[in-house]
Chain A
């Protein structure tokens, strides 16, 4: 059972930004609802107003151009991303991350941007997007600002977003085209499950990036590694960047061990 709240679905961007400015701290943005409605049901969040972003003009779809890169808007679901020809062709790492997220029904509803703004340490989309150098465009009535995704997360379920702001676009720069990468997620079962850990590894222009989830208060990005670096160097860098904890799913030591194992496996697999 959900507590009583109001619901609005603005049709244009300025109306949405007005609503956020007026109601900010007592409102929550609703996209797929696959995290928000579960949190409301569990009493974790008690917003007075839900602002649905799905009908806002211009908030739908994925676009691609060499000048603007891959642009993902708030209405884009995980399955929409998976079906996108550009994503499959040029950003297969993103498709791998998306494919590992929850179940088919959830992917029909859950959004890419929702998976980022929820800022769960176990986000499946963050590892790939971090490796690819994604940027976020944040809007409010006060204006627009852009920053690297790596600077977006500030803690467990915490981001730089102010209460009147929305993450309006996720941008994967065209410079990331040609990167080779892969994502591995460790789960308790083969079916859909939260990750025990998740590791994305990407190689491009002689450099290696790692995106790691479920291993620190936020998803983390590791850069400054090179193709040809010894496995021990990659593992040490992943160890230094993460601080896993023990919880219901497994122990800290197992997480540490498996991060290293996945980094080594991915380094061998990604040619």
Chain B
């Protein structure tokens, strides 16, 4: 089936197998390898992308379902070589270790901050509950989110108060 969709603002038109997931299409056909396959079952969030402005697990969306849609991936976050504010905060707080979850994590944080510009720690935890990180223990990620949302005083230096 022929699909036409935009990824990070550029339009792509391709013939795609109907049983290909959006994740597989992005990675294997278009070369956007920032979205990863972790569990393939909607648990881990490593495949998170924006589909028409909403975060989805791209392992559970068919490429053909995304026909006519606007997709945004982690590759679209840094502009002209400059990290986005969220990416820069992740960098400052060492919220990245192996990096496998980071793309999805950054996009889920972006979605969270669109809804709740100054989230509390419980709201941050809920906002990223669909993204597993097996390295950082989440603390640095939560600090990065507090920082980027203008709550640096709450972010502390690794002494996060747990809610």
Contact = CB atoms under 8 A, between A and B. Distances in A.
B18 A104 contact: no
Interface stretch (B38-46, B82-90, B141-149, B150-158): B38-46
A33 B108 CA distance: 20
Contacts of B29: none
Contact of B45 (A4, A37, A103): A103
A193 B150 CA distance: 31
Given A38-B60, A104-B55, A7 B18 contact: yes
Interface string A94-106: 0000000011111
Q: Which 7 A-B pairs have the closest CB atoms?
A: A103-B130, A191-B129, A7-B18, A2-B19, A108-B54, A105-B130, A38-B41
Interface residues of B, number: 31
Contacts of A6: 18
Of the four ranges (under 10, 10 to 19, 20 to 34, 35 or more), the interface on chain A belongs to: 20 to 34
A41 interface: yes
24 contacts: A2-B19, A5-B18, A6-B18, A7-B64, A32-B60, A34-B42, A37-B59, A37-B60, A37-B62, A38-B40, A41-B41, A79-B54, A103-B131, A104-B55, A104-B108, A104-B112, A105-B42, A105-B45, A105-B55, A105-B57, A105-B108, A105-B130, A106-B60, A109-B56
A188 to B, nearest CB: 13
Nearest to A3: B19
